[in-house]
Amino acid sequence: MKYDVCVIGGCSLDQTFFQKVDGSYNETPDNISPGGKGANQAVAASKAGAKTVILTRLGKDEIGDKILSNLKNYQVNTTYVEIEDGLENDYTNIYINLKDKDNEMVRFSGAINSFTPAMIDRYKDIILKSKIVVCQLKVPKEVTVSLINLCYENNKILILTPCRPDKLSITDKENIDLIDKISLITCNKKECMTIFGTDDIESCVKKYPNKLIVTLGDKGLIYYNGKRIINMKAIETEVIDTTGAGDTLNGNLSAFLANGMDLEHALRKAMYASSMKLTKSTAQAGMPYLEDLENFIQRKRNKNFLYSEELNYALDIIKDAYDLVKYTTKYQINTKEDNSLVTNADLDIEKYLINKIKEKFPNDSFVTEEYCPDGKISNRCWIIDPIDGTAHFIKKDGLWGIQLAFYDKDDTRFSIIYLPDKKELYYAAQNIGAFLNNNKILPTEPSPLVQSIIEFGGSLYKETDTKKMIFEKLKEKDHLIISNILHINSCCISYTNLVSKKTDGLIVSTSKPWDIIPGEFLCKCCGIPIYYIDSNKKVRLLTNNEDIKNLILSK
């Protein structure tokens, strides 16, 4: 079996004491729950959606049983947990102060000291079958060294949290070579200072681009991406308990990297997870599940948006609308006057969206493809396409979506494009930005013409003379100047292809508002301009590639 995340580390029982108003603590703990950095990071990764396995050791007693049961409860694979008679389990007393909810820990180590390098050899196949490996420095150092060497020799991504930073201090010259072999090091400022012997954090991260990530508490985190210092601000939130916040960050980071996310997006999303954990007491129980995290991110990000209530509501109901047809296998298919297709699924989704919006905003108006195609776009108007790409929906090829936009005070304020089969949710909000699955869509460098793909989106048969002229410009004798030409008769796919960099330029001649307004607003929020190709402004080019623009608009 292959795993997304393999965690090698210890488990413990956390005994938490909350400071009282008079400054004292109770003699007995206020809360007892499983913890430990290894277990915490494994639980965080699992709750973030990663298939997670843990390699650890436990004493065979009531505490060990409780720890093991808790890991299983959070869907962490415990097949390779070693349980031994007579081995004392670890436990930690955690004291949460009243002022800033920070914690002071007193640790009592047992099973974690029994780890040996032989474990790394024993579970070599499990480690190498995992996408991401996560470890700490709490186990004996020789165990971590063996793991680092194994991962380095096999090009396996290893994330290390140096919670015993003195073990990695560069005063020991051998540690410099060891650091070079580690894929990612996530540490706090104090740990960084201990390792590198300086408080100049920027100089440290510059020396290790895309490797050294330093958390700065309420100042966020810092790392160097090879071109510039990235300083991510902390997410403001109410702090109840800081226990496990760092483990939440690391567990979520490993899960998102295993899912193919780039480092910057994975870190930002993991920061939201860590922030969400701060609002809950105890470590593992306070760590968010992925679905709850997505909702938390949306509401945090949109909090100051003028239309946050409308946007958050729309993001919820557009997913619910898909559930109406998710398991339907047969459809009633009809042909409209323009020869386009419509199914009962189109009608059901549109009716659902209209009714739900009317419940919440009864005075709003609608322009929609099926029930309100002739409506006038005015203030507080919802523009809805229940299924864009109905023919693709019928064929179940994934090239369809649900899209909507909200218009008020003479401008589009936000839009959403949901591609259920692709598991992609795009949304854009004025002055907030554009996002794909809650990850901000960042600008990228334009591709050379020879590597570029141009798409003709929507109906291919409209404005054919202009499109023939464009095609002639895209070829030189018997070959294309660009890499390729694409056509899909589904506007939601065409616009999302462009903003996600699957294509580099888009030619559109469709003019129906439900087809183009959601996608063009999305492109606008991504900084992609629109150029009119013909004098009657029916054919448009969307691209942020100057070479494509100059080629197509040339006389």
Residue 356's CATH number = 3.30.540.10
How many alpha carbons lie under 13 Å from residue 461 in its C-beta half-sphere? 3
Is residue 427 scored above 70 in pLDDT?
Answer: yes
**What is the distance between the alpha carbons of residues 151 and 166, in angstroms, rounded to a whole number?**
22
| 45 and 117 part of one domain | yes
Q: What local confidence, expressed as pLDDT, does residue 461 receive?
A: 78
Q: What distances in angstroms separate CA 102 from CA 39, 94, 240, 243, one per listed residue?
A: 21, 10, 9, 8
Question: Please, which pLDDT band fits residue 20 given cuts at 50, 70 and 90?
Answer: confident
Q: Do 357 and 225 belong together in one domain?
A: no
CA distance 404 to 515: 9
Task: Report how far residue 435's alpha carbon sits from residue 442's, in angstroms, rounded to the nearest whole number.
Answer: 9
Question: According to the model, what pLDDT value does residue 244 have?
Answer: 87
Domain that holds residue 317: 308-440
pLDDT at residue 435, rounded to an integer: 95
Same domain for 467 and 414: no
Angle at 474 between CA 471 and CA 478, to 5 degrees: 95
Residue 364 annotated among the catalytic residues of the structure: no
148 and 297, same structural domain?
yes
Q: 3-state DSSP: the chain helix, strand, coil percent, rounded to 5?
A: 40, 25, 35
- Tokens 């019928």 label which residue? 394
Radius of gyration, CA atoms only, the chain = 27
Q: What is the predicted pLDDT for the residue at 350?
A: 96
Q: Kindly state the tokens that stand for 165.
A: 């930073």
Token pair for residue 101? 């909810």
At 434 the three-state DSSP class reads strand
Do 424 and 454 sit in the same domain of this protein? no
Residue type, 291: E
Q: Tell me, what's the pLDDT at 494?
A: 96
**CATH code at 537?**
3.40.190.80
Two tokens at 383?
A: 């523009």
Contact 35, 244 (CB under 8 A): yes
What is the rounded average pLDDT of the residues 330-343? 86
Domain boundary among 405, 440, 475: 440
Token pair for 506: 């888009």
Domain boundary among 389, 405, 440: 440
The full length of the chain comes to 555
* Contacts of range 425-428, beta carbons closer than 8 Å, 24 or more positions apart: 425/315, 425/318, 425/319, 426/496, 426/499, 426/522, 427/311, 427/315, 427/522, 428/521, 428/522, 428/524, 428/525, 428/526
90: pLDDT strictly greater than 70: yes
Taking CA atoms, 296 is separated from 211, 237, 272, 322, 365, in Å, by: 28, 11, 8, 21, 29
pLDDT classification of 526: cutoffs 50, 70, 90:
very high
Looking at residue 307, its pLDDT comes to 96
Name the band, by pLDDT with cuts 50, 70 and 90, for residue 1.
low
Whether residue 417 is predicted with pLDDT greater than 80 in this model: the reply is yes
From the list 14, 247, 346, 515, the catalytic residue is 247
Q: Rounded to a whole number, what is the largest CA-CA distance in the chain?
A: 86
Residue 39's pLDDT is 96
Select, from the ranges 122-131, 371-380, 435-444, 464-473, the one with the highest average predicted confidence (pLDDT).
122-131
| pLDDT attached to residue 21 | 86
Q: In this structure, how many other beta carbons lie within 10 angstroms of the beta carbon of residue 213?
A: 25
Q: In terms of domains, do 131 and 268 share one?
A: yes
CB 232 within 8 A of CB 240: no
Q: What is the mean pLDDT of residues 2-9?
A: 97
Give me the mean pLDDT over the 232-250 stretch.
Answer: 89
* Tokens coding 374: 């002739």
Strand bridging mode 411-419 / 401-408:
antiparallel
Q: Which range has the worst mean pLDDT, 192-196, 207-211, 286-290, 531-535?
A: 531-535
Look at the chain and report how many structural domains it folds into: 3
Which pLDDT does position 510 carry in this prediction? 87
Question: Does residue 320 sit in the same domain as residue 241?
Answer: no
Q: What is the DSSP string of 265-279?
A: HHHHHHHHHHHHHHT
pLDDT of 445 reads: 86
Q: Answer for the pair 413, 307: CB distance below 8 angstroms, yes or no.
A: yes
Domain boundary residue among 273, 301, 329? 301
User: Same domain, yes or no, for 128 and 170?
Assistant: yes
Q: What is the edge-to-edge ordering of all strands in the sheet holding 229-232?
A: 52-55, 3-8, 130-136, 157-161, 184-188, 212-215, 221-224, 229-232
- In which region does residue 217 sit, left (phi positive, over 0), alpha (psi from -120 to 50) or beta (all else)? left
pLDDT tens digits along 134-157: 999 999 999 999 999 999 999 999
**Over residues 168-176, mean pLDDT:** 95
CA–CA separation, 249 and 271 (whole Å): 6
Do 367 and 478 have their domain in common?
no
pLDDT over 70 (residue 298): yes
Say which residues have a Cβ less than 8 Å from residue 140's Cβ, sequence separation at least 6: 113, 115, 116
* pLDDT digit string, tens, across residues 447-496: 999 999 999 987 777 888 888 888 888 888 778 888 899 998 899 999 99
Same domain, yes or no: 130 and 218: yes
Task: Kindly state the percentage of the chain with pLDDT values over 70.
Answer: 100
419 and 505 within one domain: no
Rounded-to-10 torsion of CA 264, 444, 528, 546: 170
59: β partners: 84
Q: Is the pLDDT of residue 267 over 90?
A: yes
pLDDT of residue 534: 84
Q: Which amino acid is at 239?
A: V
Answer yes or no: is pLDDT of 399 > 90.
yes
Q: CA–CA separation, 397 vs 421, rounded Å? A: 8
Residue 23 has pLDDT above 80, yes or no: yes
Tokens 């093991």 belong to which residue?
68
What is the token pair recorded at 549? 């623009």
Q: How many CB atoms lie within 10 A of CB 154?
A: 11
Domain identity same for 288 and 375: no
User: Measured between alpha carbons, how far is 268 from 220 in angstroms, rounded to an integer?
Assistant: 10
Assign residue 187 the CATH number of its domain.
Answer: 3.40.1190.20
On average, the pLDDT of the chain sits at 92
